[in-house]
Amino acid sequence: MITDQLNKVIEKYEISKTQNIIYGTNIPRLNAVIPTPWRTYLSFEKSEFYFFYFDELGIKIYLRNAEGYVEIPWDDILEFEISHLSIAGKMVIKTKDDTYKFQINRFVVGCPWIKTNTKYLESVNYFYNK
C-alpha cells in the first residue's frame, strides 16, 4: 500500500531520483488535557504520513495521498538533525519561523526501498552541507 502511494506521488510530481525518498509521520503535539475525577484524558493533533524527498536544493514533504507538498530550501533551514533508532528515527527541521518534528521509518514490512533509500541518504548526509 505504501509503495502504491509512493508510485502515485512519483508519477504526479514527475520525480526522477526515487532513491532520495524516505517515509515518515509527524510527531503529534499535545493540544488538550481533560482531567476528570476518574482519569485524565489527553488529546493530540492528527497524525499525518509523508514522503520526504531530499536533494541539493532542500527538502520536499509530500502528503502520502499525493494531494500537495511543502518545499523547504536548505537556505531557510537553520538547523537540521536526524537521530536514528533501530527501526525508526527522528528528524527535526528548524527554520526562522517554526520547528518541525517527524518520525522517520527506517524499516517497513513489504517496503525494502525504505531501508535502501535511508542508507543512500545517510551516505550523502541527506544533501545537508551546513
What is the C-alpha to C-alpha distance for residues 106 and 9, in angstroms, rounded to an integer?
19
What is the pTM for the complete model shown? 0.85
β 49-55/40-44 pair status: unpaired
- Report, as an integer, the average pLDDT of 94-119: 90
CATH top-level class of 2-120: mainly beta
Q: What is the pLDDT of residue 28?
A: 67
The H or E element containing residue 94 is strand 88-95
Domain positions in the chain: 2-120
The DSSP 8-state label assigned to residue 57 in this structure reads: T
Q: What is the pLDDT of residue 81?
A: 94
Average pLDDT for the chain? 88
Q: And the C-alpha cell for 110?
A: 513489504
Calculate the dihedral angle through the C-alpha atoms of 52, 55, 59, 63, rounding to the nearest 10 degrees: -30
Q: What is the pLDDT of residue 38?
A: 84
What is the C-alpha to C-alpha distance for residues 127 and 117, in angstroms, rounded to an integer?
13
